[in-house]
Amino acid sequence: MVSVLTKIFGIGNLETAEDVVQQAFIDAIRVWRLKGIPNNPSAWLFSVAKNKAIDIIRKNKFSVQYDFSEDSRILLTSEYTLATTMENLWKEELMKDDLLRMMFACCHPEISEENQITLILKTLCGFSTSEIAKSFLTSEETISKRLLRTKDFFRNKKIKLEIPSVEELKSRTHAVLGAIYLLFNEGYNSSQAEHLIRRDLIEEAKLLCKLLTENQYTQLPEVYALMALMCFHTARSDSRLTTDGEIILLPKQDRSKWNKQLIVEGNDYLNKASFGRAVTAYHVEAAIAFEHCKANTFEDTNWELILDYYQWVCVFYPSPITELNKIVAVMQVHGAEAALEEIAKITNKKKLESYYLYFSILGEIHLRINRKPEAKQYFLKALDLTQSKAERKMLMDTILMI
Amino acid sequence: MKEYLFLFRGGEAMDKERSPEKWQANMQKWMQWMGGLQQKGQLVSAQPLSQEGKQVKGIKKTVTDGPFMEGKEMVGGYLMCKAENYATAVELAKGCPILDDDSGVVEVREIQEIIM
């Protein structure tokens, strides 16, 4: 709803759009409490929002805050065409495009990554400020400030809601995918203390990416690759935790619990991703995830191939996380000693040292070469670096077993 | 480009209460016509006018109610648009939905530039 309304009022007036949605929900609560929930709640909400939008347009036709002189918005200022134009704007197929346009606006290159995601969660996923604050482990005040700054940016720069031109599309889509992937990762491996997996975030990320696969302008290979990657990862999510929310590591996961349908779906997306010359990090990460999904047992996993893939990713798209993943693959293929040598080769460890995973892997390596005291030290360090209850529990168990 | 005022008179009265389908179809026609003008960048503004009104007359500024003319003669709405000349403005006016009824009249008037 916010994206349609933003199209109506202009992105500089994001607040107006949000107010209308909020008002519609308040009305809904009031009326539904008395009369019960209508047969088609979303249609009900849409029609309330439409009427509220019409009221605002009538009241503000000549205000400088809203610029109704541009594009088709002029038709909103005439009573002859106001109702019909409003009605047309809410057609489902158009609304999908509005969401896309909004996504691109949220991922404007001049907006910082964390602000992009904040805005996406707020305007596209309907998260409240406090929910976003929780997701980012920060205060509501910080989030409000971020949102305010981004809204000012939209207003001052007079950003338009549009799908970027062909020349820009690739780089702009890259930013959108980056934001979706971050959103997904936060859902898949939440930094929150209570829940390791946040299905709501995962679903939102997949939904947004799916939209990109459905629009002819954004059907790029990397879009399909990311979709495939997310399918493969979510296929395994049911086996990652016990019913008590404890972590089950890959070797011990019950592979029969993996969602076959999602694996098939992921495979379809991966096939669709293989046109053009682009091989992106998403392609390779999806290929890796697929190798895991393909193996019937942990021992069957083709670690040599996975190691090759990681080596490739580390060269072209280096990041601390892929570096760590590569080391895990080295350990599986060449053993713990080789993995230790590989770690020694990393020159810039500063960033790595803020990851619990880095110390957890070091602990695992030392455990395998039977250097228990060091292993324990590393696991303790890892323990310091994570908030997640499930991860802490797993590390504690390991330490106690040494 | 010159500016033109279209004054609408007569035409079929539209009552949403009586026939929602007809009303909607009519609104769709307005949308098509005006949407076309808008896309060509020719639409300036347009509004329908309500039936009742006031008149202020002469030096004494006497105020009376209503135009109280016969329905067909009353101005029911206006549209401002941009066009090359009278001929093209008249062509545009021919698309007006008010002409779907034989009583409909579109008066086309060019905005006069006051010579200073």
pLDDT tens profile A182-209: 889 888 877 666 777 888 889 989 999 9
Shared-domain flag, residues A206 and A148: yes
Nearest CA in chain A to B37: A75
Q: Which residues of B touch A (CB under 8 A)?
A: 27-28, 30-31, 34-35, 38, 43, 45-48, 77, 79
Please judge whether A81 and B45 are an interchain contact, meaning their C-beta atoms are less than 8 angstroms apart: no
Among A65, A90, A115, the domain-final residue is A90
Shared-domain flag, residues A6 and A57: yes
Query: Cβ contacts (< 8 Å) between B28 and chain A: which residues?
Result: 84
Quick check: is B89 in a domain? yes
pLDDT at residue A71, as a whole number = 63
Please judge whether A84 and B28 are an interchain contact, meaning their C-beta atoms are less than 8 angstroms apart: yes
DSSP letter at B14 equals: -
Closest Cβ opposite residue B47 in set A75, A79, A83:
A79
User: How far is it between the farthest Cα atoms of chain A?
Assistant: 82
Query: Cβ contacts (< 8 Å) between B27 and chain A: which residues?
Result: 80-81, 83-84
**Partners of residue B7 on adjacent β-strands:** B78, B107
Rounded Cα–Cα distance for residues B47 and B32 (Å): 15
Closest Cβ opposite residue B34 in set A81, A83, A88:
A81
Shared-domain flag, residues A102 and A69: no
Asked whether the predicted pLDDT for residue B77 surpasses 90, the reply is: yes
Number of other CB atoms surrounding residue A295 within 10 Å: 16
CATH of the domain at A150: 1.10.10
User: How far is it between the farthest Cα atoms of chain B?
Assistant: 51
Query: Please, which residues have CB within 8 angstroms of residue A51's CB and are 6 or more apart in sequence?
Result: none
Shared-domain flag, residues A72 and A181: no
Higher pLDDT, residue A11 or B103: B103
Shared-domain flag, residues A12 and A64: yes
Asked whether the predicted pLDDT for residue A70 surpasses 70, the reply is: no
Provide ipTM, 2 decimals.
Answer: 0.87
pLDDT at residue B16, as a whole number = 67
Both tokens of A194, joined, read 């209570």
Find, among A259, A331, A250, A248, the residue nearest to A298 by Cα: A250
Helical ranges in A236-335 per DSSP H: 260-272, 281-294, 303-316, 320-334
Quick check: is A268 in a domain? no
pLDDT at residue A195, as a whole number = 75
Rounded Cα–Cα distance for residues A314 and A39 (Å): 53
Pick from A70, A78, A82 the residue to mutate for testing the B interface (most B CBs within 10 Å): A78
Specify whether the CB–CB gap between A122 and A129 falls below 8 A.
yes
Specify whether the CB–CB gap between B55 and B67 falls below 8 A.
yes
Shared-domain flag, residues A153 and A117: yes
Quick check: is A289 in a domain? no
Query: Cβ contacts (< 8 Å) between A78 and chain B: which residues?
Result: 34, 45-47
Each residue of A246-260: pLDDT tens digit? 888 888 888 888 999
Among A194, A216, A238, the domain-final residue is A216
Quick check: is B116 in a domain? no
Shared-domain flag, residues A157 and A103: yes
A73 touches chain B (CB under 8 A): no
Domain count, chain B: 1
Quick check: is A30 in a domain? yes
Quick check: is A251 in a domain? no
Domain count, chain A: 2
Shared-domain flag, residues A194 and A113: yes
CB-defined contacts A:B, below 8 A: 39
A74 touches chain B (CB under 8 A): yes
**Partners of residue B9 on adjacent β-strands:** B75, B105
Quick check: is A346 in a domain? no
Q: What percentage of residues in chain A have a pLDDT greater than 70?
A: 97
pLDDT at residue A72, as a whole number = 65
Quick check: is A7 in a domain? yes
Query: Cβ contacts (< 8 Å) between B14 and chain A: which residues?
Result: none
Query: Please, which residues have CB within 8 angstroms of residue A382's CB and are 6 or more apart in sequence?
Result: A356, A357, A358, A359, A360, A363, A395
Predicted confidence band of residue A234 (pLDDT cuts 50, 70, 90): very high
CA of A259 to nearest chain B CA: how many angstroms apart? 48
Which residue range(s) make up the domain with A19? 1-90
Report for A34-43, A107-116, A191-200, A219-228: range of highest mean pLDDT = A219-228
Among A216, A241, A269, the domain-final residue is A216
Predicted confidence band of residue B66 (pLDDT cuts 50, 70, 90): confident
Quick check: is B115 in a domain? no
Average of per-residue pLDDT values in chain A: 86
pLDDT at residue A269, as a whole number = 94
pLDDT at residue B33, as a whole number = 95
Rounded Cα–Cα distance for residues A100 and A80 (Å): 29
Shared-domain flag, residues A35 and A76: yes
Each residue of A11-54: pLDDT tens digit? 778 888 888 988 998 999 899 888 888 888 888 889 999 999 99
Each residue of A166-180: pLDDT tens digit? 778 878 888 889 889
Please judge whether B31 and A78 are an interchain contact, meaning their C-beta atoms are less than 8 angstroms apart: no
Which residue, chain included where needed, has tokens 């006497």? Answer: B62
Pick from B6, B14, B27 the residue to mutate for testing the A interface (most A CBs within 10 Å): B27
Predicted confidence band of residue A69 (pLDDT cuts 50, 70, 90): low
Closest Cβ opposite residue A79 in set B28, B43, B48:
B48
Quick check: is B27 in a domain? yes
Please judge whether A75 and B35 are an interchain contact, meaning their C-beta atoms are less than 8 angstroms apart: yes
Shared-domain flag, residues A146 and A197: yes
Specify whether the CB–CB gap between B98 and B106 falls below 8 A.
yes
Number of other CB atoms surrounding residue A372 within 10 Å: 12
Q: What percentage of residues in chain B have a pLDDT greater than 90?
A: 60
Higher pLDDT, residue B17 or A127: A127
A75 touches chain B (CB under 8 A): yes
pLDDT at residue A191, as a whole number = 67
> Residue A159: exposed, middle, or buried by beta-carbon count in 10 A (0-12, 13-18, 19+)?
middle
Q: Which of A110-119, A290-299, B45-54 has the lowest mean pLDDT?
A: A110-119
Which residue range(s) make up the domain with B84? 2-110
Query: Cβ contacts (< 8 Å) between A83 and chain B: which residues?
Result: 27
Please judge whether A84 and B46 are an interchain contact, meaning their C-beta atoms are less than 8 angstroms apart: no
Please judge whether A81 and B28 are an interchain contact, meaning their C-beta atoms are less than 8 angstroms apart: no
Shared-domain flag, residues A130 and A208: yes
Find, among A94, A180, A181, A108, the residue nearest to A151 by Cα: A108
Long-range pairs, A241-245, Cβ under 8 A, ≥24: A241/A196, A241/A197, A241/A390, A245/A195, A245/A196, A245/A389, A245/A390
Asked whether the predicted pLDDT for residue A160 surpasses 80, the reply is: no
Which residue, chain included where needed, has tokens 């205060």? Answer: A139
Q: Which of A153-157, A162-166, B89-93 has the lowest mean pLDDT?
A: A162-166
Specify whether the CB–CB gap between A343 and A378 falls below 8 A.
no
Please judge whether A83 and B35 are an interchain contact, meaning their C-beta atoms are less than 8 angstroms apart: no
Shared-domain flag, residues A31 and A98: no
pLDDT at residue B105, as a whole number = 94
Number of other CB atoms surrounding residue A93 within 10 Å: 7
A130 touches chain B (CB under 8 A): no
Higher pLDDT, residue A236 or A318: A236
Average pLDDT, stretch A300-304? 90
Pick from B43, B44, B81, B96 the residue to mutate for testing the A interface (most A CBs within 10 Å): B43
Residues in chain B: 116
Specify whether the CB–CB gap between A290 and A267 falls below 8 A.
yes
Asked whether the predicted pLDDT for residue B38 surpasses 70, the reply is: yes
Quick check: is A50 in a domain? yes
Specify whether the CB–CB gap between B6 and B79 falls below 8 A.
yes
Quick check: is A255 in a domain? no
Average pLDDT, stretch A335-357? 82
Higher pLDDT, residue A346 or B108: B108
